[in-house]
Amino acid sequence: MTVPASLPPTAPSRHVPERSCVACRAKRPQGEFVRVTRVEGGWRVLPGQRTGRGAYVCADSPACWAEKRLRRAFREGAPAISAALHARQAPSVPPITPTPDQP
């Protein structure tokens, strides 16, 4: 089979893994999710690459981090996962350092 001369050659597109959010069931590219990993004794939100059993939650949607929406996937671990997701996104505020009064 030959490619007609009128069509420009195209590079094959790179495969992007697609995952589903356990809270809202939305399908998106894997990079748009936070991975929750099953570890000894429960589920944890861990940074970096992980192996083993895991689940995905939308990284940019606080509605998906609600405890009620996470119960289906994490059962009794839902409150801890919800708190971990909210803490992960909390803006860090620099500590206020007192300035010495000028005479």
pLDDT, one tens digit per residue, over 52-103 is 899 999 999 999 999 999 999 999 999 999 999 999 876 655 556 556 665 5
The length of the chain, given as a count of residues: 103
- Looking at residue 50, its pLDDT comes to 80
- Residue 71, Cβ neighbours under 10 Å: how many? 16
Kindly report the pTM of this predicted structure. Answer: 0.72
Would you say residue 31 lies in a domain? yes
Closest CA to 43 of 86, 82, 11, 5: 82
Would you say residue 62 lies in a domain? yes
Would you say residue 5 lies in a domain? no
The whole domain housing 49 covers 18-89
pLDDT, one tens digit per residue, over 8-57 is 667 678 999 999 999 999 999 999 999 999 998 889 998 887 888 999 99
**Which two structure tokens, joined as six digits, stand for 50?**
């992980």
